Amino acid sequence: MTTTVHVDLPGRAYDILIGPGVLSQAGARIAAMGGRRHVCILTDENVAGLHLATLQTGLADAGLTSEALALPPGEATKSWAQLERSVEWLLANKVERGDIVVAFGGGVIGDLAGFAAAILRRGVRFVQIPTSLLAQVDSSVGGKTGINSPSGKNLIGAFHQPSLVLADTALLGTLPARDFLAGYGEVVKYGLLGDAAFFDWLEAEGPALAAGDVDARVRAVTRSCEMKADIVQRDETEQGDRALLNLGHTFCHALEAATGYSDRLLHGEGVAIGCALAFELSARMGLCSQEDPSRVRAHLRDMGMKVDIRDIPGDLPDAAGLLDLMGQDKKVLDGKLRFILARGIGDAFITSDVPREAVLSVLEDALSAPSQG
């Protein structure tokens, strides 16, 4: 089963192809895009070891030669140093305006390679071939590209839409279970922010999806991409509705900062915990029923995911310390914290009208609750 989601942006429209084996279409699709018949691939060492030969053989079958640069895996690669290395490598490989750069990896590679493509010769086309669930449902779609600064995550970047996304769901089979479930945090986010029926479906099918059900995986990636495409079409540069995609992220970014962006907490795990906290805050503010946060937490728990702050190993700052870390998040506007809250499952909205005391009390309770392991 293969599906296509179209991202309909004027002058920058592109398709997302989703399904097991779509990697094999890379050669034909990229050859049809024109440009030099030589493709430069940015990837990471793990993905290169597992899948690069398949990609390069497919490109060769379509008459394309290719060269790959495999960068170290991990968030630290989203740095000035690796950006410089990537751009200089692309220049050394004589990439010109009409050429195609391929981003072959998870969110780190997609963001870095996309940014390299955005600034190289003032912008060259690039194709996203996301290999992690998180990248397939979120970061490869919508054109946010960038690197981290010592001052914070994703603070340097550009909007630069890919020309094509190939989300091969078969590649998810080689992901460690923890990485898969972290990506699933972003899938749940879509149901919670705007599609209650999708959340119902995830409650029923999530365990099968995690166990490897091919059709369920395709359906989950497709629905997530449809929702993201719809939001990006309305608000490409996040002047309004695109911020809905940040459900759970204000809490998540504080927790990621508190854990030093280490593997104590993966981004998607922080998103899942953040979504549960955003629903808890919404319920306490009388915006949604108390059953909604319980349902969110029950589903995450059923999936074997981290649900509570206390599920994060090691020490954390106190509630005031976490609130300070939220204040450093880039989603602060005019000194006010911007939250995505919910009137119910599938009905999120953006607000800066959140009393500090309400956030503090949610954090205090979350920090003192016993871990359910």
Question: Closest approach of Cβ 369 to ligand GLY, in Å?
Answer: 28
Task: Give the side-chain half-sphere CA count within 13 A for 128.
Answer: 36
C-beta closer to ligand GLY: residue 56 or 145: 145
- Residue closer to ligand GLY by CB (options 138, 292) is 138
| Least distance from ligand GLY to the Cβ atom of residue 246, Å | 6
Q: For residues 190 and 213, what is the distance between their CA atoms, to the nearest angstrom?
A: 20
Tokens 């070891």 — which residue?
Answer: 49
Residues, the chain: 373
Strand partners, 336: 333
Indicate the residue among 56 and 132 with the shorter CB distance to ligand GLY.
132
107 binds ligand GLY (CB under 6 A): no
**Span 298-327, contacts to ligand GLY by CB under 6 A:** none
Within 8 A by CB and 6+ apart from 247, the residues are 189, 192, 193, 271, 274, 275, 278, 340, 342, 348
Residues in 128-157 that interact with ligand GLY by CB under 6 A: 138, 142, 144
**If binding means CB under 6 A, how many residues of this protein chain bind ligand GLY?**
5
CB nearer to ligand GLY: give 66 or 139: 139
Smallest distance, ligand GLY to C-beta of residue 186, A: 8
What is the per-residue binding string for ligand GLY in 241-270, x denoting contact by CB under 6 A? -x--x-------------------------
DSSP alpha helix (H) spans, the chain: 26-31, 45-47, 53-61, 80-92, 107-119, 133-134, 177-194, 196-211, 214-234, 249-258, 267-284, 291-302, 319-327, 356-368
- Which candidate, 150, 136, 95, places its Cα nearest to that of 119? 95
Least separation in angstroms between residue 142's CB and ligand GLY is 4
Q: Which residues bind ligand GLY (CB under 6 A)?
A: 138, 142, 144, 242, 245
